[in-house]
Amino acid sequence: QLQQCETQNRKIEGLESTHLAYVIYTSGSTGKPKGVMVEHYSLVNRINWMDSEYGSSTDDCILQKTPFSFDVSVWEFFWPLLTGAKLLLAKPEGHKDSIYLSDLIQQHAVTKLHFVPSMLSNMLSFGELQKCKTIRQVFCSGEALLSQQVSDFYKLKIGAVLHNLYGPTEASIDVSYWDSSSNSPADCIPIGRAINNTQLFVLNSNKELTPFGGVGELYIGGVGLARGYLNRPELTDDRFVVHPFASKQDKAKGYSRLYKTGDLARYLPDGNLEYIGRIDDQVKIRGFRIELGEIEAQLSDFESISACLVLVADSEEQQKQLIAYLIPNGEIEDENEWLRTIKSSLQESLPDYMVPSAFVVMRQWPLTPNGKIDRKALAGADVAIMQSQYVAPKTALEETLVEIFAELLNLESDKISTTANFFELGGHSLSAARLMAMIKAQCQIELTLKSVFESPTIAQLAELLSNSDVSDNMISIQPVARREGGDAVSFSQQRLWLIDQLQGGSSEYNMPTALRVKGAFDIDVANRAMQRIIARHEILRTVLKETEQGTVQVVTEQVAFAFTS
């Protein structure tokens, strides 16, 4: 196969296999466009593999609909031209129009075509794909293919096979493949095995092979690798690293480098690779590290969900929160009840901090020019407010609470029912503490955190606040005598102490913000002010110590502190 690639490239006089075939720009995770340089050698290997694996003849009609600024278009153009199949060109922007594509496929008897999974969902949602009886092969790549999408595809019974391909632009379109069937696994859809003349490694942070089944970063090697990034030598060296396992024979075949994909993967027992998600999809919310792909995997198990995506909303007005975007599998009679059921189920299978705070019901995905999900457009979608029938505020106090809910949760006040649950609207324990502070500021009444959890609706809170005995139920904090040898630590202190031991002195939990002071800064005055604050507050003089009885907290008499210039 490798020798065939070299021979085919040299049929044209003067053309070498290592000459540049094309440059395609990709923004990647940084947003700054990068020109990926792909050589003839790599492209020929990819096209030869596809034809040997799937075959194409003069009886086939292959639809070319991907904009030519994206690498999927390369095989859409060259595969039919090299095999004598009919090449059908869709109109510009036609790849986003489900009805147009369906009509085009039926009119010209298209047999093979490509869909980004999000576009496949749109075709399935609108019922257009079931009209396309001539299709024999559908290739998916560009995004993770979900088990629900595979299941919905085979329910159409149009006699076609769905193939899952994976590969970054930096590795000549695709590097792995997996052929699905109506009996495909429900838990995950693999990205499969390596194509010809390609190596796939799952490595840890030290570039060592992970144990079988262990999660690590996916590295790609072989003749399919691009030359690098156009006029970006530093970036090329960073992403295209030296192959740590290459033998002399491997290097002679062009296996001297590996490409760092930034994708997390693991090998399944059957030898196929499973895509886990992006390394940069790991987020941290309220101190917890979260893999968005884990939440999406749980949502994908719902038969009523055709497709899903979980993103993090982060703005200056509110803290980070998880938002789940869902495309229903068919019509939903009561969206609020449907979402409540989904959230309730997630709360049984996921920790509280991994349950999305808000949900958005979509009919189809907004798409970018290359057919992938337009994540920026999703930010403008309306967040679903999970509440029963809307009940307007009846008293001035309820109106005040509605405004507080709206400001705190970044929602429109005229859509918040007095029967809506604070936590179902997107609230959590930290925002509940802010709710207590805002109620105290505007109503001059203090609540306990327990009372917020027990009375989470506006109507319940208004009734509680109207009760004159509410202040009498407050539990005041009483000073206690110090025990010799130290006092017991709270659960929060235990948790932070454990994290400190693991991370090694991180300032993450005691530096909420940084301030830049402009103008003259009197160090002596600042030192005196800080020393007074430390003397006033015992917690600033508290240290944790390990004893035979466990971890204890000890309040010291003095703490040496001084600003330095």
Under 8 Å between Cβ of 459 and 418 = yes
- pLDDT tens per residue, the chain (565 residues)? 445 545 555 555 678 888 999 999 876 444 467 899 999 989 999 999 999 999 999 999 999 998 888 899 999 999 999 999 999 999 988 887 888 999 999 999 999 999 988 888 878 877 788 899 999 999 999 888 888 889 999 999 999 999 999 999 999 999 999 999 878 877 789 999 999 999 999 999 889 999 888 999 999 999 999 999 999 999 999 999 999 988 887 777 767 899 999 999 999 999 999 998 888 766 656 545 577 877 888 898 898 998 899 888 764 444 567 889 999 988 888 888 898 899 889 988 887 778 887 888 888 888 887 777 888 888 766 655 555 567 888 898 999 999 998 888 877 888 788 888 887 777 776 677 778 888 888 888 878 778 888 888 999 999 888 875 544 444 556 777 888 888 888 888 888 888 787 777 777 677 777 788 788 888 889 899 999 999 999 889 999 888 887 889 999 988 888 888 7
Rounded to whole angstroms, what are the CA distances from 77 to 19, 21, 31, 482? 20, 14, 27, 79
Phi, psi of 456 (to 5 degrees): -85, -5
3-state SS of the chain: helix, strand, coil percent to 5?
35, 20, 40
List, as one string, the DSSP characters of 72-127. HHHHHHHHHHHHT-EEEEPPTTGGG-HHHHHHHHHHHT--EEEE-HHHHHHHHHTT
Is residue 217 helix, strand or coil?
A: strand
- Cβ(45)–Cβ(223) below 8 Å: yes
pLDDT at 45: 95
Give the model's pLDDT for residue 27: 60
Smallest Cα–Cα separation from 335: which of 291, 391, 384, 368?
A: 384
SS3 502: helix
Q: How many residues does the chain have?
A: 565
Q: CA 44, 45, 50: angle at the middle one, nearest 5?
A: 95
Termini Cα distance of the chain: 68
- How many alpha carbons fall within 13 Å on the CB side of residue 33? 7
Using CA atoms, how far apart are residues 102 and 138, in angstroms rounded to an integer?
A: 14
pTM of the model: 0.58
